[in-house]
Amino acid sequence: MISRTMARPLVERLQENSLLADSLGGAARSVRPSDYYDRSETLETKDILRRAFMHWIIEQELAPGMYIDERKVAARLRIPLLSVREFLISMSQFGYFRKVRDREWVVEDLDRTFFSQMLDVRMMFELNSIAPLIELPEQDPFWRTLYSLRNQHLDLLETKGGETLPFVELDNAFHGLLNTASNNRVMQIFQDAVFFVFYFHYRWDNSDERARNEIAMREHLNIMDAIFDKDVESSRSSLRGHLQAAQDNLLSSIENRIKR
């Protein structure tokens, strides 16, 4: 069973492509390769929400004190209202959003202590994920995904450089892979909360943004190369330096924001 909210765009797509002969669902023709949705259009609901909120924060559509209406988000993203509510509830546990009335939330302002604590947790879990990753067998999908991410980093550096949105999506994919592939279920719970810290960071401080993003991508490449070499110590050392630099930049941007 799926909701009408999810079913409606699917039926519309089938009708637009002349796949449905009538409203009862009769097939009009055989399916062609061009009829399939692009992978970017078949993300899990949670991924759709995470990506949407990332864009809204970075593009300054969301800021502390602003209100969020569950119904408007669900309609805008064409996903079930319940999925939006569950996502906001999960993020409210970390203090990002607060429910003010039925189906309406406010974006909260967070302090430096909270961010510092979240980043300490991230450092601990990601460093501990390295050894299990390196021990994965060669046929594990992790290695193909890591190789693909490496190529995406190189492509971005050669084309758009440190442009924020493409970089942040790659950053999320890379750090998310470190946690999911190592089957670190505890860190996966915190993953969205940690990423939100950095979304707000990009909204607050975009000075030297492209240069910092390009440095971060090259740091990612160093980490990936060490993992491919199955060098645990080098991987951890590169990752530790990368996470510390990211943490320092974030906390510095928070301090600058407070002084304004």
Indicate the number of domains in the chain: 3
* Residues ≥6 apart with Cβ < 8 Å to 46: 83, 87
At 8, is the secondary structure helix, strand, or coil?
helix
Assign 1 a pLDDT band (cuts: 50, 70, 90): very low
Let me know whether 180 and 153 are in one domain: yes
| The predicted structure's pLDDT at residue 69 | 95
Let me know whether 122 and 228 are in one domain: yes
The pTM of the full predicted model, rounded to 2 decimals, is 0.75
Based on the number of CB atoms within 10 Å of its own CB, is 97 exposed (0-12), middle (13-18) or buried (19 or more)?
buried
- 244 part of a folded domain: yes
C-beta of residue 160 within 8 angstroms of C-beta of residue 209: no
Q: Indicate the Cα dihedral angle 223, 228, 234, 236, nearest 10°.
A: 60
Residue 23 pLDDT > 60, yes or no? no
- 54 part of a folded domain: no
Let me know whether 191 and 124 are in one domain: yes
**Cα of 80 vs its chain's centroid, Å:** 20
Let me know whether 101 and 124 are in one domain: no
| The predicted structure's pLDDT at residue 24 | 55
Which residue range is the domain that position 234 belongs to?
A: 112-259
Let me know whether 133 and 250 are in one domain: yes
| The predicted structure's pLDDT at residue 180 | 79
- 50 part of a folded domain: no
Q: What is the CATH classification number for the domain harbouring 153?
A: 1.20.120.530
Question: Using CA atoms, how far apart are residues 147 and 136, in angstroms rounded to an integer?
Answer: 14
pLDDT in tens, 108-148: 887 778 777 888 888 888 999 999 999 999 999 999 999 99
Let me know whether 84 and 117 are in one domain: no
Question: Using CA atoms, how far apart are residues 65 and 107, in angstroms rounded to an integer?
Answer: 5
Helix axes 232-259 and 209-228, enclosed angle (nearest 10): 160
Let me know whether 91 and 148 are in one domain: no
pLDDT in tens, 35-73: 555 444 445 787 888 888 888 877 777 888 899 999 999
pLDDT in tens, 190-199: 777 777 777 7
As given in the structure block, the two tokens for residue 247 are 């943490």
Let me know whether 182 and 139 are in one domain: yes
